[in-house]
Amino acid sequence: MELLKRLSEAAGVPGREEEIREIIKQALTGQVDELTVDRLGNLIARKKGQGPKVAVAAHMDEIGFLVSHVDEKKGFLRIEPVGGFDPRTLVAKRVTVHTGSGPLVGLIGTKPVHILTEEEKKKELKISDLFVDLGLPGDRVKELVRVGDPVTLRQDFVEVGELVSGKALDDRVGVYVAIEALRRLEAHRADIYFVGTVQEEVGLRGARTSAFAIAPEIGVALDVTLACDTPGVEAHKQVTQLGKGVAIKVKDSASISHPGLVRFLVGLAEEKKIPYQLEILPRGGTDAGGMQLAREGAAVVTLSIPTRYVHSVVEAAHKQDIRAAIDLLVAFLERCHEVDLRL
């Protein structure tokens, strides 16, 4: 889990994935036949084979912010989100502001409860109300920070019981599954492209352009999905449950999985006794949605890692589900030349 820790703690807001990309590149060096970076910043690793052409996508980016304004007097920063945050998860958090001259620690502060009026207590919290405190005078902040500098949340990656928890498990856990699977992969006929995609959180952008270039017949996205198996959520709204295995996605709001791929994956999981669950996510999408619509289209599916508290810094996944995702991906890549894609 040392690698997953490094991936989780690395920075990479949409469009600024350089730090996380470098870590993935290092991890894949020597494991693949080709390793390239395209114009948008997607990292593309190939393990050659006769075919079919398969693209496996996991997004490198994490939800974060860009500095939108620097207060010249007091030095407080205003921030523009890149990706979908729940503002309630952001107060009282530490962040890193990635400036041209290096990283700075910042605080997302809030008014103490002691001075809140009844009206303020009821008011809905908006990201535009938040600010970052760098603990520096305004003129110093103005020298160091520029509009557009990336801001990421700070959080240690830790083990919690049978779970792992940290920031950006969405989708560093997907990246981890891909790296581990590529390392373990033995005989395969498929021509395999792993894509560490950029800008998923702002609209599956890297997946679309990289799939255009690769032109895969089959696309597999690796991403987290909701596990709302927590107090107060009815069984039919939980989407998935932690510890019940890798989720084979049937549908979300960006793609409908190819039924032949779903059938094939279910068959493989049963044959290899890999725990799995079937998933329908009512809202949200993965890179499968981008790959499916590139060029004349690809047959796609998503293998999801069930995750609690998605889009917060305590995202949590079960170690057994992560293992199941790696096992199923390895089995799929070794056998996917057998899949029947006729509808």
| Two tokens, residue 201 | 């959180």
Candidates 243, 330, 223, 231; CA nearest to 284 is: 223
Query: Residue 322 in contact with residue 269, Cβ under 8 Å?
Result: no
Of 62, 149, 171, 327, the one binding Zn ion by CB under 5 A: 171
Told to judge if 200 belongs to the known catalytic residues of this protein, a careful annotator would answer yes
- Give CA–CA dist 252/266, Å, rounded: 18
- Give CA–CA dist 262/251, Å, rounded: 10
170 is a contact residue toward Co ion (CB under 5 A) = yes
Q: How far is the CB of 62 from Zn ion (least distance, A)?
A: 9
Q: How far is the CB of 259 from Co ion (least distance, A)?
A: 25
Stretch that binds Co ion, among 103-111, 124-132, 168-176, 249-257 (CB under 5 A): 168-176
Max CA pair span of the chain: 68
Q: Which CB atom, from 99 or from 152, has the smaller least distance to Zn ion?
A: 152
170 is a contact residue toward Zn ion (CB under 5 A) = yes
Query: Residue 303 in contact with residue 156, Cβ under 8 Å?
Result: no
Query: Residue 177 in contact with residue 325, Cβ under 8 Å?
Result: yes
Query: Hey, what amino acid is at 113?
Result: V
Q: How far is the CB of 169 from Co ion (least distance, A)?
A: 10
Residue 9 interacts, among Zn ion, Co ion, none and using kind-specific CB cut-offs from 5 to 8 Å, with none
- Number of residues in the chain: 343
Q: Which CB atom, from 12 or from 75, has the smaller least distance to Co ion?
A: 12
327 is a contact residue toward Co ion (CB under 5 A) = no
Q: Is 317 exposed, middle or buried (0-12, 13-18, 19+ CB in 10 A)?
A: buried
Stretch that binds Zn ion, among 38-46, 185-193, 216-224, 259-267 (CB under 5 A): 216-224
252 is a contact residue toward Zn ion (CB under 5 A) = no
How many residues of this chain interact with Zn ion, rule: CB under 5 A? 3
321 is a contact residue toward Zn ion (CB under 5 A) = no
Catalytic, out of 9, 17, 62, 200:
200
Stretch that binds Zn ion, among 43-51, 73-81, 99-107, 218-226 (CB under 5 A): 218-226
223 is a contact residue toward Zn ion (CB under 5 A) = yes
Q: Which CB atom, from 170 or from 180, has the smaller least distance to Co ion?
A: 170
Q: Which CB atom, from 201 or from 327, has the smaller least distance to Co ion?
A: 201
**DSSP codes of every residue in 42-93:** -EEEEE--SS-EEEEEEE----EEEEEEE-TTT--EEEEEES---GGGTTTE
Q: Which CB atom, from 191 or from 223, has the smaller least distance to Zn ion?
A: 223
Backbone angles phi, psi at 126, to 5 degrees: -120, 150
Stretch that binds Co ion, among 23-31, 65-73, 122-130, 169-177 (CB under 5 A): 169-177
- Give CA–CA dist 157/164, Å, rounded: 7
315 is a contact residue toward Zn ion (CB under 5 A) = no
The closest residue (CB) to Co ion is 170
Q: Which CB atom, from 108 or from 226, has the smaller least distance to Co ion?
A: 226
- Give CA–CA dist 208/206, Å, rounded: 5
Q: Which residues are known to be catalytic? A: 200
Q: Where on the chain is the footprint of Co ion (CB under 5 A)?
A: 170
Q: Where on the chain is the footprint of Zn ion (CB under 5 A)?
A: 170-171, 223
